[in-house]
Amino acid sequence: MDERMSEEAAAVFDALGARYERAFEGLTGQQAALRWLTERLPRGARVLDVGSGTGRPVAEVLARAGCAVTGIDVSPAMVELARTQVPEARFELADVRTYEAPPHGFDAVCAFFPLLIMSRAEVESSLKRMCGWLTPGGYLVMATVPGDYDNIDMTWMGHHVTVSSLTADDYVHRLGTHGLDVLFTDTTTFHPSGDHQAPETHFFCYARRPEAGTESR
């Protein structure tokens, strides 16, 4: 794992704090994804929120729907804020690249934009790890800024970051390779609030691990 990039991500989100939540309020693609997911999960479903941030809206919505939510984030400030704002969920200071989760231990994994401030190799390995955490029949709901780039330096929300990603088609292909059925994709444009925020292209994807005994042959 690239420790420098992990520290960079933690520092950026420590500095942003609640401002990140305000900048991305009203993200309709995320709201639609949460409605879709909560309609399919029973009460008590075990859900992992990767890159849980302030806890809102993802962990909050899922906890209120009766799910047992665990959130992980690399930012100590975000973890503390989430614990305060969403006491119904459990939050841990952890990195998706090294987090120890039981294989097939979650009924759903949410990953809204955590796979960016890392190398492309880490994006790929993190995606594979998350797929492996799903129980048969479990759902992965994710969003990212798609693109064919690796370790690109940029300024985002006033902070220097080094980012990597995959194209939308490559995400779909890799999810299939890791045993998931892709059920829905959508690419949208969102303009975060704030005078100096540029519009972002967002790729949303819903996928599911087949039920035991129904895997494609």
What are the phi and psi torsion angles at 138 (to 5°)?
-80, 160
Q: Give 168-211 pLDDT, tens digit per residue.
A: 999 999 999 999 999 999 999 998 887 657 899 999 999 999 99
In this prediction, residue 2 has a pLDDT band, given cuts at 50, 70 and 90, of low
In this prediction, residue 217 has a pLDDT band, given cuts at 50, 70 and 90, of very low
Q: Give 94-130 pLDDT, tens digit per residue.
A: 999 999 998 899 999 999 999 999 999 999 999 999 9
pTM: 0.92
In order, the DSSP letters of the chain are --HHHHHHHHHHHHHHTHHHHHHTTT-HHHHHHHHHHHTTPPTT-EEEEET-TTSTTHHHHHHHTT-EEEEEES-HHHHHHHHHH-TTSEEEE--TTT----TT-EEEEEEES-SSSS-HHHHHHHHHHHHHTEEEEEEEEEEE---SEEEEEEEETTEEEEEEE--HHHHHHHHHHTTPEEEEEEEEEE--SSTTPPPEEEEEEEEEPPPTT----
Assign residue 113 a region: left if phi > 0, alpha if psi is -120 to 50, beta otherwise? left
| Alpha-carbon gap, residue 30 to 111, rounded angstroms | 10
Q: Hey, what are 122's tokens?
A: 């880490």
143 has which bridge partners?
112, 204
High-pLDDT (> 70) share of the chain, %: 94
